[in-house]
Amino acid sequence: MEISVELDTTNRPDEWKIEQGMAGHKLPILDQTGSDTINLYPPPPPKIIKDEEAIRSVGKREKLFTRERVGWKGYVEWENYPEKKAKAHKILTAQTFPACPDFMFGPIPGTNPVLPGDDFKAWHTALGGELTTVPDDSWRTVLREKHADMLHLLQFPYNGEPPKRLVTSKVITPNPLHFVRNHGGIPIIDKDKWDLSLDGLVQHPKSYSLSDLMDESRFPRMEKTVTIQCSGTRRIEQIALYGGQGDEVPQAPWAEGAIGTARYVGISLKKLIKDCGGLIKPAKHLELYGAETYVKDLEVGNYVVSVPWSKVKANEVILAWEMNGEPLPKIHGYPLRVVVLGYIGARSVKWLYRIKAIAEPSHAPVQAREYLYFNQQVGKFNQRPTDGIQIQEMPVSSAIMSPWTKQAVMHMGKIKCKGWAYSGGGRWPERVELSADGGFTWYDVPPEKLSKKGRWTWRTWEYDLPCDVEGWIEVVCRCWDNSLNTQPLNVRAAWNWGLHVTSSAHRIKIYSINKSREITKKRLDKYEQLGIPLAPLTRYETVPGQTPEEYEQYWRDHEPRDVDD
């Protein structure tokens, strides 16, 4: 029979990869609702359209979306102007934008920045005016203020975390290494032109300059060491399990570095409210406004969330202008940010310019439609924002920073491990435990190997984990906080559509090479003698496990493999 050059097949070249779930984004949805199963394939990329007429009808963008105030570069006010919001929405919906690649089911690029954020850049360009240069200006600020080794997960809006080796290298995170989580650009605000207004349901609405806030005769200073943790920390473990909500920014594929600790100086928000004569009924929440522009579902606004009055009343909400002895870096909210003790990072609003006392939690998108913790059965086609719990305090969690997963470790019966542990809401890690057998037996990190306790801070730790076994093991870390809360044991138990709060015990796979074992030591010595490199682990064997003589000797000394009767 002739064999033709062309393969006689309807397979695609990447058939095997797709069948094996390594390219999930290419799979059709199987529609089994009728008598025949139908494949619902992703359509080809949509044609880029632009309704110039509709866009023109909105008006001059340079004028519409102009800088709100002198000395506030990159700040456009939206919340005060509903008609301006409507115009921006019209511009964004009168055209289509190139689709962002699906990196949750597909491969994540091996670049730094990992993801460019093309959609957010395109929206800023489309809106124009003051926003035109925001993506470039923001990136310049990143390069100026952040450490050269930062892992830039998303270039714009900028999201970056330090590499594992630097996450816990210091108990107080140096400013250039503190993770950054932005939803939009970085406004560049002149502190002498800046002020903060406090309005809504207060007796006497007022506004304050930075020197008003810094006046110690009016407001006592407050200084606190605080760990800020993004509720997306360790999201990559949830992504590795299943894809979730596909919005690019919430999908910043954080590893264990979206957490950082700093000493903040400022004042308690409670004092400011008192200075305004206190709240008037029915005020129960404080809405906090950040100056940058955020786009959610093609609706444009400022970054707005809220905190309950009870939290403010407890002096647990700081207005901070100093971070680790320096003025706040621009990227961290200069000139003033909120630091909410023990809450997820999202409530600690940067570039704060307005506080409004309100009756209910904010209805703004970041408060009402994001940072929600859903039940596992909630997903794309049945989710309603009210099905999610609005995330405030983070539960107890922990992470191993060294070694790394899939690493081979050669040791003498103990594996050196390092990491962090944290609990939200004013609780602190009381005990950190490690397991070398996937979570069956646990060793506790001795107290002297944990950094100092603090109500609002993480604890870093180091531990030499006893490990006798050879081969692939699973090292697991979990923490118990002072209320004896602990972590779920696997990612699936905590998985949710928004991919938030990955608080399950942190698991890494390690190949253990125990040199305190006689046989292993002999073999490793042989490798060394012969000058053969040990890595990579999976290279074919060049040093035989036994000499032919040793092999013969064994069978002379032992019973044969099979029995006769």
Ligand X SMILES: Nc1nc2c(c(=O)[nH]1)N[C@H]1C(S)=C(S)[C@@H](COP(=O)(O)O)O[C@H]1N2
Residues that bind ligand X (CB under 6 A): 178-183, 228, 230, 260, 290, 292, 303, 332, 345-346, 348-351
Task: Tell me whether residue 270 or residue 337 sits nearer to ligand X (CB atom).
Answer: 337
Q: Cβ 255 to Mo ion, closest distance in Å?
A: 14
Angle between helices 82-93 and 118-127 in degrees, nearest 10 = 120
Residue 424 CA to residue 229 CA, distance in Å, equals 9
Cα first-last separation, the chain: 51
What type of residue sits at position 317? V
- Using DSSP's 3-state secondary structure scheme, residue 535 falls into coil
Task: Tell me whether residue 208 or residue 343 sits nearer to Mo ion (CB atom).
Answer: 343
Closest CA to 427 of 449, 445, 454: 454
Q: Cβ 501 to Mo ion, closest distance in Å?
A: 11
Q: Cβ 254 to Mo ion, closest distance in Å?
A: 9
Binding site partner of 332, from Mo ion, ligand X, none, Cβ cut-off 5-8 A by kind: ligand X
Instruction: Indicate whether 181 belongs to the interface with Mo ion (CB under 5 A).
Output: yes
Binding site partner of 183, from ligand X, Mo ion, none, Cβ cut-off 5-8 A by kind: ligand X
Q: Cβ 79 to ligand X, closest distance in Å?
A: 13
Binding site partner of 234, from ligand X, Mo ion, none, Cβ cut-off 5-8 A by kind: none
Task: Tell me whether residue 95 or residue 225 sits nearer to ligand X (CB atom).
Answer: 225
Q: Cβ 232 to Mo ion, closest distance in Å?
A: 6
Tell me the per-residue interface mask from 292 to 331 with Mo ion, x by CB under 5 A, - otherwise.
Answer: ----------------------------------------
DSSP state of 223: E
Q: Cβ 344 to Mo ion, closest distance in Å?
A: 6
Residue 87 CA to residue 93 CA, distance in Å, equals 10
Task: Tell me whether residue 323 or residue 434 sits nearer to ligand X (CB atom).
Answer: 323
Task: Tell me whether residue 256 or residue 430 sits nearer to ligand X (CB atom).
Answer: 256
Q: 357 vs 194, 205, 276, 336, CA distance in Å?
A: 20, 10, 11, 18
Binding site partner of 283, from ligand X, Mo ion, none, Cβ cut-off 5-8 A by kind: none
Closest CA to 434 of 480, 471, 396: 480
Q: Cβ 252 to Mo ion, closest distance in Å?
A: 8
Binding site partner of 292, from Mo ion, ligand X, none, Cβ cut-off 5-8 A by kind: ligand X
Which region, judged by CB under 5 A, interacts with Mo ion, from 51-59, 88-96, 261-269, 338-346? 338-346
Structure-token pair, residue 97 = 């934008």
Residue 25 CA to residue 99 CA, distance in Å, equals 13
Closest CA to 390 of 429, 419, 364: 364
Task: Tell me whether residue 166 or residue 346 sits nearer to Mo ion (CB atom).
Answer: 346
Among 131, 142, 230, 249, binds Mo ion (CB under 5 A): 230
Task: Tell me whether residue 131 or residue 230 sits nearer to ligand X (CB atom).
Answer: 230
407-411 vs 506-514, strand pairing mode = parallel
- Within 487-516, the residues that bind Mo ion by CB under 5 A are none
Task: Tell me whether residue 343 or residue 480 sits nearer to ligand X (CB atom).
Answer: 343
Binding site partner of 350, from ligand X, Mo ion, none, Cβ cut-off 5-8 A by kind: ligand X
Closest CA to 294 of 120, 141, 136: 120
Q: Do 355 and 197 contact (CB within 8 A), yes or no?
A: yes
What type of residue sits at position 260? G
Residue 246: exposure state from Cβ atoms within 10 A (0-12, 13-18, ≥19): middle
Closest CA to 346 of 251, 437, 250: 250
Instruction: Indicate whether 346 belongs to the interface with Mo ion (CB under 5 A).
Output: yes
Task: Tell me whether residue 231 or residue 486 sits nearer to ligand X (CB atom).
Answer: 231
Number of residues engaging Mo ion in binding (CB under 5 A): 4
Task: Tell me whether residue 243 or residue 260 sits nearer to ligand X (CB atom).
Answer: 260
Task: Tell me whether residue 273 or residue 372 sits nearer to Mo ion (CB atom).
Answer: 372
Element (H, E) at 17: helix 15-19
CA 82 to chain centre: 31
Q: Cβ 365 to Mo ion, closest distance in Å?
A: 14
CA 383 to chain centre: 22
Q: Cβ 230 to Mo ion, closest distance in Å?
A: 3
Structure-token pair, residue 89 = 């929405």
443-444 vs 506-514, strand pairing mode = unpaired
Instruction: Indicate whether 345 belongs to the interface with Mo ion (CB under 5 A).
Output: yes
Q: Cβ 401 to Mo ion, closest distance in Å?
A: 20
Residue 57 CA to residue 74 CA, distance in Å, equals 24
CA dihedral sign, ordered 380, 385, 388, 394: positive
Q: Cβ 78 to ligand X, closest distance in Å?
A: 13
- Using DSSP's 3-state secondary structure scheme, residue 489 falls into coil
Residues that bind Mo ion (CB under 5 A): 181, 230, 345-346
